[in-house]
Amino acid sequence: MTGRRIALAMAGLTLLRPGDPRAETEEGMVIFSALRGVVLARGRPVPGARVVRSWHWGLTDERGGDAAVTDAEGRFGLPAVVRRGGLRRWLPHEPFVEQTIDVVHGSATQAVWMLDRRNYRPGGELGPERSASALAVTIELDAPLAHRGPVYGRATIAPLDPAVPPPA
């Protein structure tokens, strides 16, 4: 490798430095934060609803998804999605992850979360310079589609209050 190539590679490595809002955690790059939430219709919990989460990660072109079923109180939980990114993580890039969540209940499927994530911080869905170990999510199936903070859909998000117990 020539001296010029080495210098360019080293310059690229400094772009994702600690404190940078795009930087990965010790575990890796957070593609979708951990979620703990509740699904409601007319203000009442919706048991047995399937919460389907999906993502498209621009860096690697990975498409993935997972799901959870709400309990008797309408609660659900999904773990954080964390990736390493391989050697590509060291290349200069703009973090970009398309995130969606749909809720399937009975014969209906409703889009409840649409967000373009632009960082790798835990809780980075909250917006620039914000983070949280997990997110508290409230999904209101009868609400109209609208911007609710950073999320477009029927979901509102907030940093998870440690006093809120996760679903059983």
Q: Which domains does the chain have, with CATH numbers?
A: 3-159 (2.60.40.1120)
Say what the pLDDT of residue 40 is: 98
Model confidence at 150: pLDDT above 50: yes
Query: What count of other Cβ atoms lies within 10 Å of the Cβ of residue 159?
Result: 15
Taking the C-alpha atoms of residue 156 and residue 140, their distance in angstroms, rounded to an integer, is 9
Asked if residue 51 lies in contact with residue 76, where contact means CB atoms within 8 angstroms, the answer is: yes
User: What is the pLDDT at residue 77?
Assistant: 98
Question: Mean pLDDT across the stretch 74-103?
Answer: 88
- Give dist(CA 75, CA 125) in Å, integer: 20
Mean of the per-residue pLDDT values for the chain?
Answer: 85
SS3 53: strand
Contact 109, 1 (CB under 8 A): no
d(CA 163, CA 140): 22
User: Is the confidence at residue 4, as pLDDT, over 50?
Assistant: yes
Q: Tell me the CB-side half-sphere exposure of residue 125, using CA atoms within 13 A.
A: 33
Identity of residue 23: A
pLDDT at 107: 94
The whole-number average pLDDT for the span 158-165 is 66
Question: Is residue 156 a contact partner of residue 149, using CB atoms and an 8 Å limit?
Answer: yes
- Please compute the mean of the pLDDT values over residues 83-88 and round it to a whole number: 74
The pTM for the full model equals: 0.80
